[in-house]
Amino acid sequence: MRRIALISLIPLALAACSNQGLRDLQPTSEGPDEFLIQPVKPLERPDNLNTLPTPAPGQANLTDRSAVAEGVAAFGGRLDTSAGIPAGDAALVQHAGRMGVQPGIRESLAEADAKFRKRKGRFTQFRIVPVDRYGQAYKRMILDAHSEAERWRRAGGRTPSYPPQDTRFR
């Protein structure tokens, strides 16, 4: 009887040790996703009904809001990129591209990252429990902010203050 109780408590003990934080983006409940519900603009009657576009499948509704456009406008940007780079940003763009710009950098990095994680992951196709594959693959490359700040302080560099180190999950 003790053996059965001990075996049944092992998964519970292992589950208590997990620390996934914000990297696990799976929904935690069976309820509706609040981010799927979008507010719409109020309905308005156009001056001329002949100017309305013809309805087409998959086409956006006139009352639908665009999160991208609203986000760009909130940060002072503009959606129309045909006008080129604004004069105030020309120096920044020139400095950022001073070493050259590699076309398709995102695709090549995504491919290299997938190869790296596949090479580092063992038995990644078998998932009995949810596993943070990203953390496993890049474990040796994670920067320890506290030790790095201490290294800079010992060298005489100025560092910002930071909260005490949490050692519960180490």
Q: What does the DSSP assignment read for 65-124?
A: --HHHHHHHHTT--S--TT---GGGHHHHHHHTTT---TTHHHHHHHHHHHHHHHH-SST
For position 108, what pLDDT does the model report?
Answer: 93
pLDDT digits over 65-99, tens only? 888 888 888 888 777 777 788 888 889 989 998 99
Q: pLDDT under 70 in the chain at which residues?
A: 11-29, 31-35, 121-127, 131, 167-170
For position 25, what pLDDT does the model report?
Answer: 59
For position 154, what pLDDT does the model report?
Answer: 94
For position 152, what pLDDT does the model report?
Answer: 92
**Number of residues written out for the chain:** 170
Burial 78-99 (b: 16+ CB within 10 A, else e): eeeeeeeeeeeeeeeeeeeeee
For position 20, what pLDDT does the model report?
Answer: 56
For position 128, what pLDDT does the model report?
Answer: 73
What's the CA gap between 48 and 46, in Å, rounded?
5
For position 170, what pLDDT does the model report?
Answer: 55
For position 114, what pLDDT does the model report?
Answer: 85
Of the candidates 168, 137, 162, the residue with the CA atom closest to the CA atom of residue 147: 162
